[in-house]
Structure 1
Amino acid sequence: MTKLMKTMTLAAALLSGTAALADTPKIGAAVYGLNAEFMQLWAAALEQHPAVTEGKVDVTIFDGRYDALVQQEQFETMITQGFDAIIFVPIDIEAGAEAVRLADEAGIPVFGSNTRVNSDKLKAYVGSDDVQSGYMEAKYVLDKIGCTGNVVVIEGPIGQSAQIQRLEGNQKALAECPDVKVVEQQTANWSRAEAQTLMENWLTAHPGDIAGVIGQNDEMALGAIEAIKAAGLNVNDFAIAGIDGVTDALNAVKADEMASILQDGFAQAQGALDLAIKAVDPSYEPMSAIWEQYPDMPWNDGADAEYNVPWTPVTLENVDALLEMRQ
């Protein structure tokens, strides 16, 4: 082979590699924030998707830092950089609609996951029924206190779909117990530290009068537990519930300190990515194992507008297995 032929062959190989790289779908994931464990688990699941690990798709995860404006700016960046599809976990159900509109105008399909956005431009949504979980956690607390006494409600970020819908579920359960009084109700923004501060103040304001704690996520329920312990009180004198099934909550359930409901962020993330890849490549078949794990949530060729991932109540019978999965 002549020197010229070798040079041409090398150039062709380099061009082929560049073309292959350019053909790899580029998908962005705009998540509301990565400070807490649940969204960290969600993001890790996205990175562990077989299509990502095998190099069939390029995924970039953007930390929205719990700010709707930051999320919109990240959308603008993805539009400018020519991303092929976007997975959206919004901090605000209304404010996020503008970001979706911008992407839609640019011809970029957007798929929701975990939290909702009020937009008819969303191609599909993969998440769980937050009204149901809000009802389930509140009912646990109310059943444990015998449908009588005082409770506090620690809410998520005001305006996020999970806060809105879990509160709806909370209120549905509370309506079944008219003798229960909500003595305090405030947001702690999914934060364990903020919830601990709230609970410390409430224990001081209502000494001996709080029987139950409805925390709209595990982090906030765990913050309430820390406040109770710091006050020298017995956690077992309170009925406490959260949502998500984060690791510390699983351990708290095992210690009989609280109740939790597992939200499968792994399935939500990987399901959304399968849909996003399908939008870019119509011949794509899903690579995640979640579709076999949840037969009641069929793939249906990626054509459904909504995919509902079931909740799993954490119990003493399944908590060890769930903890082992975190190893």
Structure 2
Amino acid sequence: MSRLKTRHCPFILSIFLLSMTSWVQAETLDRLAYLRLGISVSDLGNPYFAALAQGAKRQAQALVESDQVETLLYSSAYDVERQTQQIESFIEQSVDMILVSAAVFDAFEAVIDRAQSRGIPVLAVDVKALGADATVTTHNYQAGHLACDQLAQHLNFQGDVVILNGPPVSSIIERVEGCQQALAQYPAIRLISSDLNTGGSREGGLETMTHVLTRYPDIQGVFSINDPAALGAEMAGQQAGKRNFVIASVDGAPSFISRLQADDSLLLGTATQSPAKMAELAVQMGYDLLQGKALNLREVLIPARWVNAANLDAAEVW
């Protein structure tokens, strides 16, 4: 079993998260009467982002009197101009805080600054955003490293592997980096493709994996940057009559977990994320900022956990 570098140690991050949680619980805040949230995520067709939005609303309702919460929820479709307009709209509608899953890390600093100048905290969730007041994400390097280390173990540390990549946001870049570092430890594993973009969707996974199987029909392992693309990749394998490879992923999506239990599944497992917890922490931090409180922490990384068919009963999934 491999070890992560010290700067990526999930044990340290677990302590980091626990200290964040304790800090949140320790604060006794004056309750506001009403909260309006502006939430811009990447893809509302992905259940992950729906769970994130639900977590944000649930935490906001727990913080204000009489559950008086309004959420303005938009999907950017990874489009910078569209997401900029969404954040501008939040500002014009005088939301109390903004949660953003940024399409590009450094594309929104100016509009984020405009929001902050109006007293609106901006929280980066799922991916980083330059200029945000605080950031809450999965420890994506650790998630990619974990999934690909499990994949390597399953392959007995040898064979041909492909990475099904995605949009160039920080979370995906870090997952791929973690995967590559894990696989690089095993000389008998050959990474033969890593730059094909699935778009992070089931349709993109199907199309990309169909191309991969045409070009590399004898691969043994696949790492997908998220579960929707992994499910599409599995569909491509089924359509091609291929059962000589397995797929590791990141997310913990209900549809992936359900498919993981099937007798004919090609899915090895997934490094699960916690989208609701991520959003809950972000809303709490934004709420504290609204009340003039200084944040003890400005970046929280939530470790991923490996879920497969063997440990599914004991796993916490969203």
TM-score, normalised relative to structure 1 = 0.79
| Deviation at residue 177 of structure 1 after TM alignment | 1.9
Residues 210-289 of structure 1 aligned to structure 2 (within 5 Å): 210-234=219-243, 237-255=244-262, 257-282=267-292
Is 1:305 the counterpart of 2:306 in the alignment? no
| Paired position in structure 2 for 1:39 | 49
Aligned AA (1:228): G
Secondary structure of the corresponding residue to residue 314 of structure 1: strand
2:72 pairs with one of 46, 60, 76: 60
User: Which stretch of the first structure deviates more once superposed, 52-61 or 85-94?
Assistant: 52-61
What are structure 2's unaligned runs of at least 5 residues?
1-31
CA contact (8 A) 2:144 2:178 kept: yes
CA 1:102/1:33 → structure 2, altered by over 3 Å: closer, same or farther?
A: farther
Aligned AA (1:98): A
Higher Cα Rg, which structure: 1
RMSD of aligned alpha carbons: 2.3
Aligned AA (1:55): D
1:171 pairs with one of 177, 180, 188: 180
TM-score, normalised relative to structure 2 = 0.81
| Paired position in structure 2 for 1:314 | 307
Residues 7-46 of structure 1 aligned to structure 2 (within 5 Å): 24-46=34-56
2:53 & 2:80 partners in 1: Cα distance?
A: 19
CA contact (8 A) 2:142 2:303 kept: no
* Greater relative CO, 1 or 2 (CA 8 Å, sep 6+): 2
CA contact (8 A) 2:135 2:298 kept: yes
Secondary structure of the corresponding residue to residue 241 of structure 1: strand
| Paired position in structure 2 for 1:148 | 158
Aligned AA (1:192): R
2:85 pairs with one of 54, 73, 76: 73
| Paired position in structure 1 for 2:108 | 96
Aligned AA (2:296): A
| Deviation at residue 153 of structure 1 after TM alignment | 0.6
More strand by share: 2
Number of corresponding residues: 281
Residues 155-166 of structure 1 aligned to structure 2 (within 5 Å): 155-158=165-168, 160-166=169-175
CA 1:266/1:33 → structure 2, altered by over 3 Å: closer, same or farther?
A: same
CA contact (8 A) 1:46 1:269 kept: yes
CA contact (8 A) 2:57 2:69 kept: no
User: Which stretch of the first structure deviates more once superposed, 221-230 or 253-262?
Assistant: 253-262
| Deviation at residue 322 of structure 1 after TM alignment | 5.2
Aligned AA (1:243): V
| 1:269-321 C-alpha deviation (Å, 9 max, x unpaired) | 111111112222358xxxxxxxxxxxxxxxxx853112222322214454246
